[in-house]
Amino acid sequence: MKLNKHKPAQHTEMEFGGALGAACIPVFLPLTVLYLLSVCRTPGGALLQWPPPLPHSTFLWDPVAAAIMVGWISLQSALYLLPMGKVSLPENPQFCLCFNAAGFHALCMTAVLLAVCVCLGMPLGYLFDLVLPLAVCAIGVSYLLALYLYIRSFWAPAHQLALGGNTGNPLYDFFIGRELNPRIGSFDLKFFCELRPGLIGWVVLNAAMLMKEVELRGSSSLAMLLVNGFQLLYVTDALWNEEAVLTTMDIVHDGFGFMLAFGDLAWVPFTYGLQAMFLVIHPQTLSPLSALGIILLNGVGYSIFRKSNSQKNQFRRDPAHKSIAHLETIATATGKRLLVSGWWGFVRHPNYLGDILMALAWSLPCGVSHLLPYFYVVYFSILLVHREARDERQCRAKYGLAWDTYCRRVPYRIIPYIY
């Protein structure tokens, strides 16, 4: 196959701070992961402390962590390859890709395997002690994967290149990703990374924190059970509805480069689970009433998140389906319609609202004395506001006047009457 490097740049508008952002983010974010994990293990747990709790280099590398990482990625790859649940990518019928969407099976099989290993005496709580070298390995794997993705993208067919990742600036293209759906045979690297090793790894690490708490204090706290339960629900939901990820901008629009590789493999498992890690060193007592309030908040958030996502997915797959046929819509010049009633008539991103409410419910069990467990809420709100702006730009370009009409009909973006 011919090299595609002489193709003219298709799209020159740069996001995430352009070339400067692309140079700084791959250094700054991995260091942030290591810093957060180090702070989490200090008895003070203060996010801003001087001198910063920098780990000694001997705590950053452990061959056992490297072996676990290789074993983990191999196990998840093998589970991904099992011939179950095939779906095609609806947005790109011209190259009709098929995906293995059996994430829920993979989660269940991983759970059974882990349970057997724990029964046979494997000390799962030991992952708490290994968390820094594990994060270092995950960061290393993301760098290697991103480098591999960048190099192989020069042999990809032109129609497989992402619009935004082909500016001609090597640093920026490495960061954003040149190829849309890189595959080895039928193994789709982006789809696999987005949902399997990182998401399942996140809940396994949470379970390890629970085991560590039991080792240290003899039983698990209500706060730890809530954090584990809420995040397990979120991950299970994502894997149960795995094919819905095929319509998100990450799969349809963005290339696969360092940002997503690192986000999927290192950022998600090691920063989304900070609350459980925090609770191991900073135990919290929760009253039954506050626990009830937090469960309610998570329930409301989950219900908005799930119902709005399902409503849009159903609408995009089959607009005539009886569950949504009664909803009001507006036509666009592309032939696609936009929902203006139901969840998508409430705010323009009801799914983000539900997700933010859940994020808050995951942090509240850790009390209000520390900032660290709220890192996820703050980061996630920034991510979603930025994501909303990107999506808005893309939708305005796609739908033109119809999008302006939608914005007039539904004026608030995420939080009614506020934003």
Ligand X SMILES: NC(=O)C1=CN([C@@H]2O[C@H](COP(=O)(O)OP(=O)(O)OC[C@H]3O[C@@H](n4cnc5c(N)ncnc54)[C@H](OP(=O)(O)O)[C@@H]3O)[C@@H](O)[C@H]2O)C=CC1
Binding interface with ligand X (CB under 6 A) = 248-249, 305, 309, 312, 315-316, 336, 338-339, 344, 349, 351-352, 355, 383, 387, 391, 394-395, 406
Q: Would you say 230 and 377 are in contact if contact means Cβ atoms under 8 Å apart?
A: no
CA–CA gap between residue 262 and residue 397 (Å, rounded): 29
Strands 337-339 and 329-331: antiparallel
Any residues with CB less than 8 A from the CB of 121 and at least 6 apart, and which? none
Which residue, 267 or 270, is less far from ligand LWLCTGZJ as judged by CB?
Answer: 267
Q: How far is the CB of 134 from ligand X (least distance, A)?
A: 20
262's contact among ligand LWLCTGZJ, ligand X, none, with CB below 5 to 8 A by partner kind, is ligand LWLCTGZJ
Q: How far is the CB of 243 from ligand X (least distance, A)?
A: 13
Q: How far is the CB of 138 from ligand X (least distance, A)?
A: 16
Site residues for ligand LWLCTGZJ per CB under 6 A: 29, 194-195, 237-238, 245, 248, 250, 259, 262-264, 267-268
Q: DSSP 3-state assignment of 369?
A: coil
Any residues with CB less than 8 A from the CB of 288 and at least 6 apart, and which? none
Q: Which residue is nearest to ligand LWLCTGZJ (CB)?
A: 263
Angle at CA of residue 355, ends 385 and 304, nearest 5°: 120
Closest C-alpha to 200, from 245, 253, 244, 238: 238
339's contact among ligand X, ligand LWLCTGZJ, none, with CB below 5 to 8 A by partner kind, is ligand X
Which residue, 179 or 264, is less far from ligand LWLCTGZJ as judged by CB?
Answer: 264
Q: How far is the CB of 342 from ligand X (least distance, A)?
A: 9
Alpha helices, DSSP H only, in 272-374?
274-281, 288-317, 350-363
Q: DSSP 3-state assignment of 253?
A: coil
CA–CA gap between residue 323 and residue 314 (Å, rounded): 8
Q: How far is the CB of 56 from ligand X (least distance, A)?
A: 31
Q: What residues does 330 pair with on adjacent strands?
A: 338
Q: Would you say 203 and 231 are in contact if contact means Cβ atoms under 8 Å apart?
A: yes
Which residue, 222 or 395, is less far from ligand X as judged by CB?
Answer: 395
CA–CA gap between residue 349 and residue 81 (Å, rounded): 34
Q: How far is the CB of 371 from ligand LWLCTGZJ (least distance, A)?
A: 18
Q: How far is the CB of 387 from ligand LWLCTGZJ (least distance, A)?
A: 8
Q: Would you say 178 and 150 are in contact if contact means Cβ atoms under 8 Å apart?
A: yes
27-56 core/surface letters (b: 16 or more CB in 10 A; e: else) = eebbeebbebbbbbbeeebeeeeeeebeee
391's contact among ligand LWLCTGZJ, ligand X, none, with CB below 5 to 8 A by partner kind, is ligand X
249's contact among ligand LWLCTGZJ, ligand X, none, with CB below 5 to 8 A by partner kind, is ligand X
Q: DSSP 3-state assignment of 339?
A: strand
Which residue, 108 or 252, is less far from ligand LWLCTGZJ as judged by CB?
Answer: 252
Which residue, 188 or 194, is less far from ligand LWLCTGZJ as judged by CB?
Answer: 194
Closest C-alpha to 247, from 311, 313, 181: 313
Which residue, 213 or 242, is less far from ligand LWLCTGZJ as judged by CB?
Answer: 242
192's contact among ligand LWLCTGZJ, ligand X, none, with CB below 5 to 8 A by partner kind, is none
| Separation of CA 168 from chain center | 27
212's contact among ligand X, ligand LWLCTGZJ, none, with CB below 5 to 8 A by partner kind, is none
Residue whose structure tokens are 């480098």: 147
Tokens of 289: 């009433």
Q: How far is the CB of 390 from ligand X (least distance, A)?
A: 8
Q: What residues does 188 pair with on adjacent strands?
A: 183
352's contact among ligand X, ligand LWLCTGZJ, none, with CB below 5 to 8 A by partner kind, is ligand X
Which residue, 14 or 195, is less far from ligand LWLCTGZJ as judged by CB?
Answer: 195
Which residue, 136 or 339, is less far from ligand X as judged by CB?
Answer: 339
37's contact among ligand X, ligand LWLCTGZJ, none, with CB below 5 to 8 A by partner kind, is none
